[in-house]
Structure 1
C-alpha cells in the first residue's frame, strides 16, 4: 500500500487531484484509515489513474472520463482515441498557424503602405492562351481557404496532364470567380497543346491592358503586393476590370522563393 503522497509521486499527479478524484468517485483509495482519514492506494490502481489522465488530456470532461472507464476502454481503444485527438490538434495547430500568417501578412501590408515605386508596375497586353484547367470551390478569398484548394488542384492537374502525354507550353495560371453564395471558384490552369483530356480545355481571353507586378514569396503572403497594385491602379487614373490572374513564373520547393506575376485588367477611368 502507498500513502496518497507516494501514490501521487508514482502517478505523476498532484495530491490535490487525487483528493478530487476521490471526492467525485472517479478513483477511490484502496483503504481509508477510519481514525486518521489517511488514504492508501495499491499499485494496481496506477492502471486506472493512467487511463484517467490520458483520457482527460484528450480533452474529455471528468464526467465523460468516468463514463468511458465504466465501459472498460482497452489500451488499443485508447491508442485510437489518441490518434483521433492528435489529428484534431494538428488540424487546429495548422489553422492557428495559418491565422497567424494572415495576421503577419496584414501587418506587412500596413507597414508597406505607400512604399510602392511606379517602376514596379508594368502595363502590358496579355495574349490569349489555351489551357488545361481543373476547378474547385473555396469558402472565401481568405488565404486559409484558398491555399488548401489551389495547391492540390495544381498537383492533380500536373498529374493528369503528364498522364495524357500533353506538352505544357507555359507557366501555370490561376484565376478566381466569386459565386452568388460568396464562395469562390478556384481555377488552376496549365498552358497546353491539347484538345482533350481528363481536364477542361479553356481559351483564356486576351487582356488588352493589364497592370502587372511581380510578387516574390509564398502566395499566402501576397496581400501587400496585391494591395500595392490596387493603389497604383487608382492613383494612376485606371479602373480595374473583373479579370485578374496569377502567373507562376518560378515555383521551387521553398515557397519563400516563389516568383508570381499578378495581373489585373484595367481601363482608363
Structure 2
C-alpha cells in the first residue's frame, strides 16, 4: 500500500486533491489508520484516479464525474468525450494543447491497464556522478509542470557548458526534491500538510573533474572566479561559470525501467513501475531520477531510464 504522498506522486496529482476526493466520496483510500487518520492507497486505485483526472480535464463537474463513474464509463466513451471536448476547445487551441496532451496520456494509461509488462524492470545500484546543473522550481510533479521548467534549463545549461569549453562526459540526468521547508526541513509532504506541491527541478549533465578544472583555469585567467567543488556530496556548489556542480551520490537500490518516447507520455511507464514496486514487496524512497540515454531532435526516438529509489516494504 502507498501513503497519500506516494500515491499522489504516482498519479501526478496533489495530496490535497486526494483528500478532497476522499471527502466527497469520489475516491476513498483503501485504508485509513483509525489512530493517526493517515490515508493509504493501493496501486489498483490508480485506474479510478486516471478516469477521474481524464474526466476533470475534459471539463466535467465533480457531480457529473460521480455519475459517469457510477455507470462504469468505457474507454470508447471516454474517447468520444475527448473528441467533443476537442471540438469545443478549437477556438482556444494554443491554450488547450497542453491539457489535451495530458488527457491523451491518461487515456493511453487506461487503455494499457492489465496489459503492461513489467519484465523490463531491474533493481540495481547506480553510481556516483559529477554533474553540471541548473535548477528551477516547478508547480507540481506532472509533465505539464516539469516540461516548461526543465526544457529551458537544459537549453541554457548546454549553452553555458559550450561557452565554458566543458564537454559532457555522459548523458543528462534530472533529479527532483521537495521545496525545502522554511525551517530547513525537507522530504515529501506529510499527511495533513497543505500547499507543498512545488518541487525543485535539477537539470544536470555528467562531466569530469578534469574538464571542470580546465574550464575553471581558463575562467580564472579571464578574471572569473575559480570553480568550487569542495561542497559535501549532494550539495550543489557554484562554479563561477554560470552553472553549479554537484557530486550526486548513487542510489543503493533503484527500480529502473526504460521509457521510450517523449517525457510528456511518461505516465504509463511510471505507473507500470508503481505496479511492479507494489507487487514485489518494495516501497518508494524518493522521487525518481531520469537518465536521458538518447535525446535526438525527434522526441519519439528518445530513450530515458527511470530510476526510482526503493527499499523493502
Distance 1:118 1:141, change over 3 A: closer
Using CA pairs below 8 Å that are at least 6 residues apart, which structure has the higher relative contact order? 2
Structure 2 residue 251 is the aligned partner of structure 1 residue 226: no
Runs of 4+ in 1 over 4 A off after TM superposition: none
Shift of 1:162: 1.1
Matching of residue 187 in structure 1 with residue 202 in structure 2: yes
Q: In 2, distance between residues paired with 1:232 and 1:140? A: 24
Q: How many residues align?
A: 181
Give the corresponding residue for 1:215: 259
Counterpart in 2 of 1:128?
Answer: 128
TM-score (norm 1): 0.64
SS of the residue aligned with 2:166?
A: coil
Distance 1:166 1:124, change over 3 A: same
What is aligned with 1:260? 304
For 1:201, which of 233, 245, 270 is the aligned residue? 245
Give yes or no for the alignment of 1:93 onto 2:93.
yes
Q: What CA distance in whole angstroms lies between the structure 1 residues aligned with 2:293 and 2:101?
A: 23
Structure with higher Rg: it is 1
Name the TM-score, length of structure 2 as normaliser: 0.55
Name stretches of at least 5 consecutive residues in structure 1 with no aligned partner. 1-88
Q: Displacement of 1:115 after TM fit?
A: 2.3
Tell me which residue corresponds to 1:174.
174
- Alignment check: 8 A CA contact 2:141 2:197 kept: no
RMSD: 2.0
| Structure 1 match to 2:108 | 108
Q: For the Cα contact (< 8 Å) 2:288–2:306, is it kept in 1?
A: yes
CA contact (8 A) 1:134 1:189 kept: yes
- Aligned residue for 1:96, secondary structure, equals helix
Contact map agreement 1:114 1:228 (CA 8 A) in 2: no
* In 1: Cα distance, 2:259 partner to 2:289 partner: 13
What displacement does 1:243 show? 4.1
